[in-house]
Amino acid sequence: MQTRTFAEWMADVDAYVAGPAAAWAQQIETTGAVPQAVWQELNDRGYLRLAAPRDFGGFGLTFVEYLRLLERFAAMHGSMRVIVHVMNSLWRSLASKASLGQMERFVKPFIAGQLRATFTLTEPNSGSGADIKTTARREGDEYVVNGEKWMIIFSDVADYFLLFCRLEGTSGGEGTLALMVPRDAMGLQIEYMAPAMGVTGTQHGHLRLSNCRVPVANRLGEEGDGLEVAFRGFLDPSRTAIGMTCVGAAQRSLDLATEHALTRVTFGQPLAKRQVIQMWLAEMATDIAAARQLVLHAARKLDEGHSITVDASMAKMFATEMLQRVTDKALQIHGGPGYFQSSEIERLYRDARMQRFEEGTSEIQKMVIARDVLDKAKAARERRNRG
């Protein structure tokens, strides 16, 4: 496998984002579709397996290193950013409970780009966690699955859906399953949803499972391990990574706004001379710097082997809301011309809204954080009472 220094990776990614990726962005916005050639190019360049271990066929970058590259990738078109992010994240879920045989069937082909899978948790009539309603019952060597999933990304290209459901008659975290459901599974119907507000060309799907039959051999881990595969394997690092994609998109927005402020002349002087514009730029830069450090703090903890559930929620919550503030100010600095689709800031503004939904809303992150704050306070009170 090709060996590169981190500096070489950074230079390569910067050149790609400024060149080929910019050309792809124009084509995607014009056609409303992500060509298969984009997937192939990203895979051929090694961008879809940066974070995976070398033993699995990846390049073995640390999480911090990967996130520093992801910040650069986030300046790309939103759909291309999503491809890089998901493919560099989902292997953790697949590998977390995979048997040796499943490593060969699913994990290594996924990392190599020979197999595409997508995270399949969200449902129309429930949240994205322990209240999942899609059920399964075992019949011999198969599970019979019934339920619905929606807003499932890459539904048009996925070979497998990493689907989370529960055994019939169970509730909460009990009896949850992680199943690799093949695209051609009997009883699976895939309906494509309407185009989204942003991330043009990324197809989301509504999955309907009616007595859908899935081999028991496609279960990752044991019965009851489903939510652990979802949350420990994928969501914590993925939430942190989303935080860094917000940092990258916000930095690009700041760069565009700054350049516009320096070149746009009104009433005889550049916008950059206006004090209010200077104040906005200062606020934007500070917001970005704070989010970047919060994300890197969580990433360093993951590299050191610590749990980052709360840190990931903090990073995602702050960074996604930061991105809204920064893109709003950036669009305001651009004025009327920034509102038209010919403007890059217009696309960044639309794409930015998606991150607040990915891997749980800000409200979900706040629940995770508040629970930790209260648990620590209760523990401290109990220690005082014992003392």
**Positions marked active-site:** 359
Alpha-carbon distances of 67 from 59, 124, 144, 280, 353, rounded to whole Å? 14, 32, 39, 26, 20
Sequence-ordered alpha helix ranges (H) in the chain: 6-18, 20-31, 36-44, 63-73, 78-87, 90-96, 100-102, 108-112, 226-230, 236-263, 275-303, 309-334, 344-352, 362-386
DSSP symbols for 247-292: HHHHHHHHHHHHHHHHH-EETTEEGGGSHHHHHHHHHHHHHHHHHH
Q: How far is CA 17 from CA 12, 138, 151, in A?
A: 9, 47, 27
CB 132 within 8 A of CB 69: no
Which residues neighbour 166 within 8 Å (Cβ) at sequence distance 6 or greater? 132, 133, 134, 135, 136, 174, 175, 176, 177, 226
Beta bridge partners of 188: 209
CA 382 to chain centre: 38
Whole-angstrom Cα distance, residue 381 to residue 387? 10
The pair of three-digit structure tokens given for residue 4, joined into one six-digit string: 């590169």
**8 Å CB contact between 110 and 233:** no
